[in-house]
Structure 1
Amino acid sequence: MAPLIQDTALALLAPSFVGATIAAVRYRATATHRAKQCTQLQASLHRAQNLSILQDQEIQHLVTHRLTALTTELWDSGYHSAGPMLHPELAGTAFAQAQEEILQRFIILVEQASTRAEQSTKAAVQSVTRALQALVYEQQHAISAMIDRHDDEKVLADAYEIDHACSQLARKAQIVGLLAGAWPGRQRDDTPLLDVVRGGVSRIRDYKRVRITGEPTEYVGSTVTEPVVLAVAELLDNAARYSQPGTAVEVYFVHAHNGISIVIDDAGIGLTPETRADAARLLSGQQPVRLTQLRNPPRLGFLGIGMLAERYGFRVSVAQESDHGGVRAIVHLHRGLLASAPAPTAPQANRMPASSLTAPASSTPPPTASHSTSAYPVAEDGLPMRRRSKRAHSQPATPPASQPPTDGGRNLAAFVHSTQAHHQNSTDEENNQ
């Protein structure tokens, strides 16, 4: 009886047991799946947190490093390099693409701001230099008028000194104007190369220290005469400024198959390899000049020379060292920049030979701002007649060591006095007639 009861009980409980087992299995499977989902969610959350940290760091790197580097590159060299990302694993993501778009927009804004600033600066500099040049030329005209009115040697000597200072100021204004996009501002005739060099000598402060060797017969074309004068003056000024006051600046000429070179040697401090490379870059004229990006202090001379060389086609180099340990500057003029010598004119009865009006080879070029290659015309009585438009400047190369500063005033005083006497005699003759 007992086994029958047990079998009956098992028969009655079997369906419930099976159902419970099935429910337990299902519950276990569900719990396992949910556990896996929870693990995956935790991993995704961890990755999202790490990605957020990386992006925060990348944004910080963009602000503090990449934009700063990009700004420096844009201002210094014009390159568009912001440097690599801090976390390369972010490359190719939407976040990296958004950063690149930010950088491109930043580049556009910086270039626009730089262009507006450069244009405004150049306009302001051009306006100032034009006004300054006008004042300098007016002052030089007043000095010339004063020289015509006076014949006292002391007054004339002082006038020469003032005129010399004006010529230096005019040269500086020309260089600054060139960097601002202006033109040299003077048109000349074909000029002997020797007179071109002397014109550069007359525009520097220490002109008495310059010694010119050789007398080339080449002429410089009218379109490049003033640019070459400016370039030579700036190189001579650097040579004299960065060498001892008692040393000489040697200038000589080297004839080449394709042209002629003006060589300037000084006994100064020389150039370091880094400075020499920087000077070569500036003198090449290949780098765009931006007034808003000039260094402090700016090297206006080399920048102006490089711009002139690139614009007019001559070459300037300071790559060599002089025999005295200083700098050897070379200005090379190819034959396309040279002109033919003018045909000789028939001598006239009222004109003296040019050689009789040329100063000896050892005299110093006068510090005047105006230069010409023609001699003074001579009246019937043999006295020279001064002309305002052109002045004789065929002056010698080597200055004497003991020349007093008033010699120019004394000579000019005699010249003015004789000219006034000639005009007075002519007036008296007309009145008597």
Structure 2
Amino acid sequence: MIEPLVTTATLLGGGFAVTAVGLVRQTRAKRALAARLGPLEREHFAAQQVTGALHEESKHLAETRMPALVNAAARGQRGVTVPGLCVGYLAGTPIDGYHQAVLGLCDEAISITRDRIGLAARSSVRDIIDEAQTYLIRCQMKAVEEMDRYPEGTAYHQSLMDLDHLVTRALHTLQRTRILTGSWPGLQRADCTFREIVESARGRIDALLRVNYTYEPGTGEVWVEGRVVEPITVALTELLSNATTYSDGKVSVEVQQIQTGYCIVVDDAGLNMNVYQRQEAAQLLTQRTVLDVTSLPDTQHLGFPVIGRLASEYGFNADVSSTSPFGGVRAVLRVPRDLLGHGPTDEEREAERQAAAASVVSQPLIPEQQLSPDGFGSPSGGSDSPGLPQRRRRSPRHASTALPRASEPAPPEDPDAFLEGFANLTAAIREGENDQTEGEQSRD
């Protein structure tokens, strides 16, 4: 009985031993397999994380970064910034470089396209302005010729002066546009004094009677170089227009001497500017802005960009950071000594005197027998061409007799002759335009 039990126990023990050995080998095999699969699983998990990050970053590029770049570069929206990567650990990686390259190419494409379109548009605008400015200058010359032909103090002469003022305002509007398109003011003048510059700028605004110029011979008769006379006049016109627009009372203008040259001070009693407006004005007055005619800003606030471009181009500067004694804005236009001129030479003065003398002794506009005792011709004096009473050129009077006496009656006015004079002016302008058109067609 004992032997079978021993045999059975032996067999069971051997089976358990074999099973234990198998389990140990199986465990070791699983551990070896797990050791081999661990890096693969980690690599697979890391690959899944990278794929997800790339997906999020591409989505962020398409939905956030590119639209922000288009809004800032193409649409010109202010305060828009292009965000960076949404996944921080991708910074500095090739993915970051590729996305930056895409954004850079898009920005460059927008810039190149805008520059080409803007260049073509500015060229077209300048061509249109040149033609319009030419016709306005010719119209102004005709009006000045008519004013020289007829006496002052009449309704006809005043109407011509009003017409000349409207043409001057239109010319200034064209000037400010062509300046912002990268061109020059379109007018070259000889050396002028500060007095002439102030009076010229004052005559280019609507509220000219509200501008009070404090004239002092020591500063008012200082000459300015002709090359910068028109740019300074345009800049001063913008300052005067801004002062009269934002104030109701008088605007004071004074020319002062400083260590570096001279300055034109404009004081108004209107609304003052806050800190942000002063900062924006200072930026516009110091940058050389070229107008993008494809996306025009508010056309009512182009004065400071005009001044900034002229100042950077011709060497003077403007400042509106001070407060005037009247509570408004004090605008200062500084002209350095390098821009001062010398005025006409003795030869030029002599030539002007000779030209004036020649115009005085020239043939009268109407025959002598048609003149009335007071120097005015009668509209029914037998002339072949109808028109207003015409005045004969006489030698200049002395200062004591320059103004008419209050007791002298004003010359009578003829309404029919007034209308006929306007008709003659219109016909003369049309005749000049037709001559120019025929000349252009003959050249073609």
- TM-score scaled by length of structure 1: 0.72
Structure 2 CA distance for partners of 1:142 and 1:28, relative to 1, 3 Å: same
Q: How does 1:105-116 map to 2 (within 5 A)?
A: 105-116=105-116
Q: How does 1:129-140 map to 2 (within 5 A)?
A: 129-140=129-140
The whole-number CA distance in structure 2 between the counterparts of 1:141 and 1:342 is 23
State the secondary structure of the residue aligned to 2:113: helix
Q: How does 1:249-398 map to 2 (within 5 A)?
A: 249-286=251-288, 289-292=291-294, 294-297=296-299, 299-342=301-344, 379=360
Q: How much has 1:292 moved relative to structure 2?
A: 4.3
Q: How much has 1:4 moved relative to structure 2?
A: 9.0
Corresponding residue for 2:119?
119
Q: How much has 1:184 moved relative to structure 2?
A: 1.3
The whole-number CA distance in structure 2 between the counterparts of 1:136 and 1:150 is 21
The whole-number CA distance in structure 1 between the counterparts of 2:168 and 2:194 is 20
Relative contact order, higher structure (CA 8 A, sep 6+): 1
Q: How much has 1:161 moved relative to structure 2?
A: 1.0
Q: How much has 1:418 moved relative to structure 2?
A: 3.1
Q: Deviations over 1:329-360 (max 9, x none)?
A: 11111111001244567999x969xxxxxxxx
Corresponding residue for 1:176?
177
Q: How much has 1:138 moved relative to structure 2?
A: 3.0
Corresponding residue for 2:376?
none
Q: How much has 1:74 moved relative to structure 2?
A: 4.0
Q: Deviations over 1:4-55 (max 9, x none)?
A: 99569959995x8766544433322333444566676665555444444433
Structure 2 CA distance for partners of 1:343 and 1:118, relative to 1, 3 Å: closer
The whole-number CA distance in structure 1 between the counterparts of 2:177 and 2:109 is 28
The whole-number CA distance in structure 2 between the counterparts of 1:208 and 1:67 is 54
Q: What runs of 5+ residues in structure 2 fail to find an aligned partner?
A: 365-387, 397-444
Q: How much has 1:84 moved relative to structure 2?
A: 2.4
Corresponding residue for 1:189?
190
**Aligned-partner residue type, residue 268 of structure 1:** G
Q: How much has 1:379 moved relative to structure 2?
A: 2.9
Structure 2 CA distance for partners of 1:288 and 1:169, relative to 1, 3 Å: closer
Corresponding residue for 2:103?
103
Structure 2 CA distance for partners of 1:218 and 1:40, relative to 1, 3 Å: same
Q: How does 1:60-71 map to 2 (within 5 A)?
A: 60-71=59-70
Indicate conservation of the 8 Å contact 2:72/2:81, yes or no. Answer: yes
Q: What runs of 5+ residues in structure 1 fail to find an aligned partner?
A: 353-373, 384-412, 423-433
Relative to structure 2, which stretch is displaced further, 320-329 or 54-63? 54-63
**Aligned-partner residue type, residue 88 of structure 2:** P
Corresponding residue for 1:199?
200
Q: How much has 1:380 moved relative to structure 2?
A: 5.7
Q: How much has 1:229 moved relative to structure 2?
A: 0.9
1:225 counterpart = 2:229: yes
Q: How much has 1:95 moved relative to structure 2?
A: 2.5
Indicate conservation of the 8 Å contact 1:190/1:222, yes or no. Answer: yes
The whole-number CA distance in structure 2 between the counterparts of 1:377 and 1:77 is 62
Structure 2 CA distance for partners of 1:93 and 1:22, relative to 1, 3 Å: farther
Q: Deviations over 1:262-283 (max 9, x none)?
A: 0011111121211111111111
**Aligned-partner residue type, residue 379 of structure 1:** V
Structure 2 CA distance for partners of 1:285 and 1:100, relative to 1, 3 Å: closer
Q: Deviations over 1:131-167 (max 9, x none)?
A: 2212322322343354456559222211211110110
Corresponding residue for 2:24?
25
Q: How does 1:17-56 map to 2 (within 5 A)?
A: 21-35=20-34, 44-56=43-55
Relative to structure 2, which stretch is displaced further, 216-225 or 22-31? 22-31
The whole-number CA distance in structure 2 between the counterparts of 1:12 and 1:163 is 129
Q: How much has 1:70 moved relative to structure 2?
A: 3.3
State the secondary structure of the residue aligned to 2:391: helix
Indicate conservation of the 8 Å contact 1:321/1:328, yes or no. Answer: yes
Structure 2 CA distance for partners of 1:333 and 1:59, relative to 1, 3 Å: same
Q: How much has 1:376 moved relative to structure 2?
A: 8.2
Indicate conservation of the 8 Å contact 2:263/2:335, yes or no. Answer: yes
The whole-number CA distance in structure 2 between the counterparts of 1:323 and 1:218 is 26
CA RMSD of aligned residues (A): 3.9
Alignment identity in percent? 27
State the secondary structure of the residue aligned to 1:106: helix
The whole-number CA distance in structure 2 between the counterparts of 1:226 and 1:132 is 19
State the secondary structure of the residue aligned to 2:360: coil
State the secondary structure of the residue aligned to 2:392: helix
